Amino acid sequence: AQTVTQSQPEMSVQEAETVTLSCTYDTSESDYYLFWYKQPPSRQMILVIRQEAYKQQNATENRFSVNFQKAAKSFSLKISDSQLGDAAMYFCAYRSDDKIIFGKGTRLHILP
């Protein structure tokens, strides 16, 4: 069975600094997608970034980028120039055959 592990329950970063959130997953499948979702205090689930497993190039969305290491089954999220609005719970997720498996989440605090 697929699993997603986020080993950092909480992290803090100074405003304008860079932070990296870790995620590892386990699967025997070759075709899958990986995602990072943000859940702010409003509880809305917001897609931050996604990565197709067949693509070697790391996905980038403005200040958000990933480091996808397929062989190591690692999928970390880097947030550059952190802003107060980035404070949220971040979930790493694995998707295959329409099922999404989420990690337990990392709560990110932004220090002014």
Partner 1 sequence: DSGVTQTPKHLITATGQRVTLRCSPRSGDLSVYWYQQSLDQGLQFLIQYYNGEERAKGNILERFSAQQFPDLHSELNLSSLELGDSALYFCASSETSGNLYEQYFGPGTRLTVT
**Footprint on this chain of partner 1 (rule: CB under 8 A):** 31-33, 42-47, 50, 91, 95-105
Smallest separation, CB 58 to partner 1 (Å): 18
Reference 95, options 37, 46, 33; nearest CA is 33
**Residue in 35, 31, 39, 41 with CA at minimum distance from that of residue 64:** 35
Q: How far is the CB of 42 from partner 1 (least distance, A)?
A: 8
Q: Give the residue with the Cβ less far from partner 1, 18 or 44.
A: 44
CA nearest neighbour of 73 among 101, 112, 48: 101
CB count within 10 Å of CB 21 equals: 23
Residue number with CB closer to partner 1 (39 or 74): 39
CB of 64 to partner 1, least distance (A): 15
